[in-house]
Amino acid sequence: MTDAVRLHFLVDGEDFTSAGQASVQVKKNLRQLGIAPEIIRKVSIAMYEGEINMVIHAGGGEADVLIYEDRIEIELVDRGPGIANIDLAMQEGFSTAPDNIRSLGFGAGMGLPNMKRYTDSMHIESALGEGTRILMTVRL
């Protein structure tokens, strides 16, 4: 078994302008590794939604991308407020995004549904006042 390639990113919660950079970087890395374009698209879009969520809703966090022979895993961990009702948050259209963020085109409540749509499995653990951990897997 060859070891996984691991990419690690700190996602700055103070800087909305650069939010999303880690995902754009992952897209570039996956391309260099010769990963198929459809896979790159799924991984980078799912990660972008999660990365933006960490900045908007959780004050930033950390992202890890692990590239194995048969799959890519994306792990997003934050110490934000947590998600009170995960089933509700997963529904298309549910959003607590503030107005200033909505005016930039976010807050449609489609990010988590997109993450589910673009990955083969998605697992959310969240505790109020402690934070949220999201693990997504895309099969190669």
Please give the residue ranges that form the binding site for Mg ion (CB under 5 A): 53, 111
- Picking from 53, 3, 44, 52, the residue whose alpha carbon sits closest to that of residue 24 is 44
Q: For residues 39 and 67, is the Cβ–Cβ distance under 8 A?
A: no
User: Which partner in Mg ion, ligand ATP, another protein, none is near 96 (CB below 5 to 8 A by kind)?
Assistant: ligand ATP
For residue 17, CA distances in Å to 10, 11, 20, 54, 124 come to: 15, 12, 8, 13, 26
Place of tokens 């807050």: 107
User: Which one of residues 9, 27, 73, 89 is an interface residue with another protein (CB under 8 A)?
Assistant: 27
Is residue 109 close enough to count as binding another protein by CB under 8 A?
yes
Q: Residues 37-76: x/- map of binding to another protein (CB under 8 A)?
A: x---x--xx--xx---------------------------
User: Which one of residues 106, 126, 134, 136 is an interface residue with another protein (CB under 8 A)?
Assistant: 106
For residue 18, CA distances in Å to 4, 51, 87 come to: 27, 11, 29
User: Which partner in Mg ion, ligand ATP, another protein, none is near 104 (CB below 5 to 8 A by kind)?
Assistant: another protein
Q: For residues 124 and 132, is the Cβ–Cβ distance under 8 A?
A: yes
Task: Give the C-alpha separation, 77 to 66, whole Å.
Answer: 14
CB 134 → ligand ATP: shortest distance, Å?
7
CB 69 → ligand ATP: shortest distance, Å?
29
Give the footprint of another protein on this chain (CB under 8 A).
17, 20, 23-24, 27, 37, 41, 44-45, 48-49, 104-111, 113-114, 117
